Amino acid sequence: MPDNPDQKKPVIIVGAGPSGLLLALLLSQRGIPVQILEAEAHLDDQPRAAHYGSAALPDLDRAGVLAEVKKRGIIINDFAFRYAVPAGSPEDKDGSGFAHIATLDTSCVKDVDGFDYRSHCLVLQDLDALMLEMLIDRIGDDVVSWRHRVVDVGQDEERKVAWVDVVTPEGRKRVEGEYVVGCDGASSQVRRSLFGQDYPGFTWEKQIVATNTYYDFTKFGWGDVNMIIHPDNFFASRPPQNHKRPGYSLSNEEMAAKMDSDGLYRVTYGEKSGLTKEQMRARQAARFEEILPGHPKPSEYTVVNFSPYKMHQRCAPSFRVGRILLAADAAHLCNPWGGMGITGGFVDVGGLADCFIGIEEGLADESILDLYSEKRMEKWKTVIDPISQGNFRRIGYTEDPSSAAQTDEFMLLLKKAETDLELAKNLAMGSLGLRYDFTQHYKQKDSATNAS
């Protein structure tokens, strides 16, 4: 943090999560000073999001992150929808106890004007570690102030500063910056300091458990991502990264993407509401035997991470109050089915970075920050919220999956896309609708800003 009063004050980013780290990378590469304040003593290592949709990729790319994600992670080649059927029934064609509805092959967007728009996959804690490593290399170890818990925020427009009050191991202190950006998650203290408990929306009655699990889905002929439709036993499986148990090696990208018998998968499943974490953990083995293909016993898989979650659909009243802004989960929430939350958060900070860059380089005035709030809220209301709600209602609330397979509009589109290349491309790149080009509002276009 700058000690010289004449030194330019940083953009204070509250939260060393994925969106805060990406924002810091995008700003610092254009010479804008940043300081991250994190309440915890280290990065979050709980299983969370693992794949990043097409809309997030341009911002990860221009931050210099995407190439390394390709090396350390995998690329998703297909998304399949299935539902449970009696074992050995005519619908159980692969012997898994599940009927196949449709699969979206995303290889059709592998090269769109030289860019790969397939979803990229890397365990989020590994992505966080990668971005932190890049920031430390660029700025130094003190880019993140750990164990700095924000308790209040404010601003002084006459002095053109925003501030945060933090509690640290050394006591309470105030940190000043040119702007404050709350990237501090669903329980954001920045948002609460602005709006109290006002976070309009609702909490889903159903809850989920996210696990990282070694289990061989490929023996059933299943591909990369599998969404299982059921009102109680819904779940999703996907390979979260290019990772194998010690002693095994990966020979090529395809093998990693398919994650053979020793591959690590993210398995996310539904649970009853009202259970404690201990009760859910005690039920995990029975739930896996009940819902997974092959009805495995505990000796047939290994769970390496286990984390229950409640799901929400919420949006803050505004993403800007003067020099204080909100982004990602601090600004809006949605259920994880379809990856709209993490993808939307990355797109938020990509757009906000363009706004700050425009102000810094004299290409925009501060009114562009009002536009940031307006347009990102609009994207939540018109894209993220309706699509994510539709995704989860389809997965977790469909009482008759076999009938839905024949009547659900989205399922019918997926079936058609199996033989319609243009439709498949449109579906595979659908999340690009989350993006908004703030550079179009610059006083003159800055060709160095790669926004789409």
Q: What are the residue ranges spanned by the domains of the chain? A: 11-56+124-201+313-392
How far is residue 255's CA from residue 241's CA, in Å, rounded to a whole number?
12
Which pLDDT score, from 0 to 100, does residue 246 have? 34
The structure tokens listed for 451 are 């926004």
Q: Which residues of 189-216 are buried (b: 16+ CB within 10 A; e: fewer)?
A: bbbbbbbeeebeeeebebbbbbbbbbbb
Return phi, psi of residue 162, to 5°. -120, 155
407-422 residue pLDDT tens = 999 999 999 999 999 9
Q: Sign of the C-alpha dihedral, residues 283, 288, 290, 296?
A: negative
How far is residue 77's CA from residue 67's CA, in Å, rounded to a whole number?
17
Which pLDDT score, from 0 to 100, does residue 172 have? 97
Half-sphere exposure of 29 (CA within 13 A, CB side): 21
Q: What residues contact 35, with CB distance under 8 A and at least 6 apart?
A: 1, 10, 11, 12, 13, 143, 145, 175, 177
Pairing of strands 302-315, 201-214: antiparallel
What is the mean pLDDT, run by run of 10 residues, along the chain of 452 residues? 70 98 98 98 82 96 96 91 90 89 96 96 91 97 97 95 97 98 98 97 94 89 91 84 38 26 78 93 96 95 92 98 98 94 97 98 98 99 97 92 91 96 96 97 65 48
Q: Which residues of 410-431 are buried (b: 16+ CB within 10 A; e: fewer)?
A: ebebbbebeeeeebbbebbbeb
293-349 residue pLDDT tens = 999 999 999 998 899 989 999 999 999 999 999 999 999 999 999 889 999 999 999
Which pLDDT score, from 0 to 100, does residue 238 have? 78
- DSSP lists the bridge partners of residue 99 as 83
Q: What residues contact 17, with CB distance under 8 A and at least 6 apart?
A: 44, 128, 183, 184, 185, 328, 329
**Coil, helix or strand for 374?**
helix
**Coil, helix or strand for 370?**
helix
Q: How many residues does the chain have?
A: 452
Which pLDDT score, from 0 to 100, does residue 411 have? 94
Query: Residue 330: which of 380, 367, 382, 378 has the closest Cα?
Result: 380
The end-to-end CA distance of the chain, in Å, is 33
Contact 73, 51 (CB under 8 A): no
Which pLDDT score, from 0 to 100, does residue 35 have? 98
Return phi, psi of residue 448, to 5°. -80, -15
Contact 233, 270 (CB under 8 A): yes
Which architecture, in CATH terms, is 11-56+124-201+313-392? 3-Layer(bba) Sandwich (3.50)
Query: Token pair 């990102």 is at which residue?
Result: 376
**Coil, helix or strand for 99?**
strand
Q: Sign of the C-alpha dihedral, residues 110, 112, 115, 120?
A: negative
Pairing of strands 264-271, 235-238: antiparallel
Q: What residues contact 372, with CB distance under 8 A and at least 6 apart?
A: 319, 320, 325, 351, 352, 355, 438
How far is residue 308's CA from residue 277's CA, in Å, rounded to a whole number?
7
How far is residue 135's CA from residue 22's CA, in Å, rounded to a whole number?
9
- DSSP lists the bridge partners of residue 179 as 11
